[in-house]
Amino acid sequence: MTKAEIQQIKLRFGIIGNNEALMRGIDIAIQVAPTDLSVLITGESGVGKESFPQIIHQYSRRKHGQYIAVNCGAIPEGTIDSELFGHEKGAFTGAIGERKGYFGEANGGTIFLDEVGELPLSTQARLLRVLESGEFIKVGSSKVEKTDVRIVAATNVNLTQAIADGRFREDLYYRLNTVPIQVPPLRERGDDVILLFRKFASDFAEKYRMPAIQLTDDAKQVLLAYSWPGNVRQLKNITEQISIIETNRDINAGILKGYLPAEHNARSLPVLLGVKEGKNFGSEREILYQVLFDMRQDVTELKKLVHEIMEERGKVNNGAPVPADVYYTSQPQVVTAQPLNISTIIPTPVKEVHKPGDDDIQDTEEYVEESLSLDEVEKEMIRKALEKHHGKRKAAAQDLNISERTLYRKIKEYGLD
């Protein structure tokens, strides 16, 4: 199919963009339309999957038949069989009359099953029978009925994982996935986001009878850099908000950022403290080694901080000489589990200590026994952070790398109001 023909289809169905993957999806839809093959459309929520079954229906021999779109995720599990396949009078409480069902109504046409991954397993078995033989049975009936329906399904669920979890039938997946169409997310469509914003801005200007908003160059860069977790649907909503609220019709980066929510990566996982981002590990043991190594560096920094606090409070040896039986080491030490006492886990550095009779030992450390608890250290760090930021809790919390709520609780706990 030529680019000019695809362009005409895009205009007819209101599809905006020139992304290669998007164009490929349209081309597949046109090629498969004249057949009766089942099509499975996959893609994230909000990418515009609903346009493709309409293309398939309108370019098929069924275009004069009925087209019914069903959102499977919006129908309660107890009534979905009745909605799809119909029911007999008295089949269940509230069934005061006979119902034909979507598969009966769409005979000779096309049914679009949106969010097909949300179907319960019992309904999946009924749907599989329709796909294999065109037969179904109404709820409360024993009579087998026939239907001639083209099924196009769509989902934002990873059906392969759903099969592994036992939530989706493997045989149904292969029946639906005869021809797959993958719709790309907005963040992978490049300059299409600018074209879509311009189209939505024009539509809303006409709808609300006001001048269309326009993006400055820096705002366009923000638009391109944002990940758009809600895809085209989110972009449309934000464009409408700006069109209505902003009196200035030239939208710069600062204005645009005010309408973009904080990004929540749906694929984010719990973070292992101390593991550097972007690094792959072959086993749990390697992760543990990396965490321990990074913790060792953190302890070194904490030693320096505690030493400074102790010096300020006049608690470093209280001016007394270093004990003769001080413990010397030049190797990393493994500390066994014991009640948390700052003196047992944080060695206090001194400038240099030479063991009598051995002038070759350099850069050694002295472990001084001090009765300084972790609570006292924490209290002192919070006090210093508050003094540094003149009592501004938000800035102090950021400096301490804790939440403002946690800082408020600690202030109450230590009486630092």
- Domain map of the chain by residue range? 3-184, 188-257, 284-318+325-353+361-372, 375-414
At residue 219, the pLDDT reads 96
Specify whether the CB–CB gap between 372 and 340 falls below 8 A.
Answer: no
Decide which of 241 and 417 is more confident: 241
Domain 375-414 in the same topology as domain 3-184: no
pLDDT band at 350, cuts 50/70/90? very low
Decide which of 145 and 308 is more confident: 145
pLDDT band at 268, cuts 50/70/90? very low
Decide which of 306 and 177 is more confident: 177
Contacts 24+ apart (CB under 8 A), 265-274: 265/227, 265/229, 266/229, 274/298
At residue 260, the pLDDT reads 94
pLDDT band at 106, cuts 50/70/90? very high
pLDDT at position 80 over 70: yes
pLDDT band at 331, cuts 50/70/90? very low
Give the tokens for residue 215. 């993006």
Burial 80-93 (b: 16+ CB within 10 A, else e): bbbbbbbbbeebee
Backbone angles phi, psi at 12, to 5 degrees: -65, -40
How many other CB atoms sit within 10 Å of the CB of residue 220? 18
Query: In this structure, which amino acid lies at residue 66?
Result: Q
- Dist. CA 125–CA 136, nearest whole Å: 10
pLDDT at position 214 over 80: yes
At residue 289, the pLDDT reads 54
Would you tell me the crossing angle of helices 374-388 and 393-400 to the nearest 10 degrees? Answer: 130
Backbone angles phi, psi at 67, to 5 degrees: -115, 120
Candidates 33, 247, 278, 330; CA nearest to 152 is 33
> Residues near 119 by Cβ (< 8 Å), separated by ≥ 6?
72, 80, 113, 127
From residue 56, alpha-carbon distances to 50, 62, 110, 143 in Å are 11, 9, 9, 32
Count of H helices and E strands in the chain?
Answer: 17, 9
Top CATH class, 375-414: mainly alpha
Decide which of 364 and 124 is more confident: 124
> Residues near 235 by Cβ (< 8 Å), separated by ≥ 6?
186, 193, 196, 197, 200, 228
At residue 274, the pLDDT reads 41
At residue 322, the pLDDT reads 44
> Residues near 106 by Cβ (< 8 Å), separated by ≥ 6?
65, 66, 67, 68, 147, 149
How many other CB atoms sit within 10 Å of the CB of residue 291? 14
User: What CATH architecture does domain 188-257 belong to?
Assistant: Orthogonal Bundle (1.10)
pLDDT band at 313, cuts 50/70/90? low
3-184: CATH, from 2.60.40.10, 3.40.50.620, 1.10.1740.10, 3.40.50.300: 3.40.50.300
Summarize the confidence of residues 114-123 as an average pLDDT. 96
At residue 300, the pLDDT reads 73
At residue 298, the pLDDT reads 73
Give the tokens for residue 264. 């929540």
pLDDT at position 246 over 90: yes
Query: In this structure, which amino acid lies at residue 12?
Result: R
DSSP3 helix / strand / coil % (the chain, rounded to 5) = 45, 10, 45
At residue 4, the pLDDT reads 84
Give the tokens for residue 7. 């362009």
pLDDT band at 377, cuts 50/70/90? confident
Query: In this structure, which amino acid lies at residue 371?
Result: S
